Amino acid sequence: MRCPFCQDAENKVIDSRESHEGSVIRRRRECLACKRRFTTYERVEELYPLIVKKDGRREAFDREKILSGLKKACEKRPVSVDQMESTIEDIERVLQGMGEKEVPSSYLGEQVMRRLQQMDEVAYVRFASVYRSFRDIAEFMHELKDLLEDSERERKAKPAAPPVKGG
């Protein structure tokens, strides 16, 4: 590990901590040459399936691409970066658990949309409008109608809260 300040290769670890539920190790280091401190993050190199695009191209799974899409969809919405990171980690676990060598991009997009729908409906509609590339307003309205029907079903399925007793 080279020092980002002086490029010297000699440094020592002065503190190590787990973060992100133990999936990442944060190491605080000190350069032996310039004495400046810097932080590194260590994560297990995980093998993900290749993502097969609509046109047949294959790409490596890229969490940053998903995060970028989530940030755009959730812009000015009450969704934290931690929620977005957690969503990506959940999708990563699903992909690893599948044990497949290749996964269609449509599957990945549906995974993101399903989680967005639970997190924030406006962000879901934003993502869906780009992901599904609606041809016209009728398709877009059909998606909104389905979303409203799902929300109504969920609202009716939840038991009513018991009345609060005054005291």
pLDDT digits (tens, 9 = 90+) for 78-126: 999 999 999 999 999 899 888 899 999 989 998 998 999 889 988 988 8
The yes-or-no verdict on residue 167 having pLDDT over 70 is no
Mean pLDDT of the 12-36 span = 90
Mean pLDDT of the 126-134 span = 78
The yes-or-no verdict on residue 69 having pLDDT over 60 is yes
Calculate the average pLDDT of the chain: 87
The yes-or-no verdict on residue 70 having pLDDT over 60 is yes
Annotate the chain with three-state secondary structure.
Answer: CCCCCCCCCCEEEEEEEEECCCCEEEEEEEECCCCCEEEEEEECCCCCCEEECCCCCEECCCHHHHHHHHHHHCCCCCCCHHHHHHHHHHHHHHHHHHCCCEEEHHHHHHHHHHHHHHHCHHHHHHHHHHHCCCCCHHHHHHHHHHHHHHHHHHHHHCCCCCCCCCC
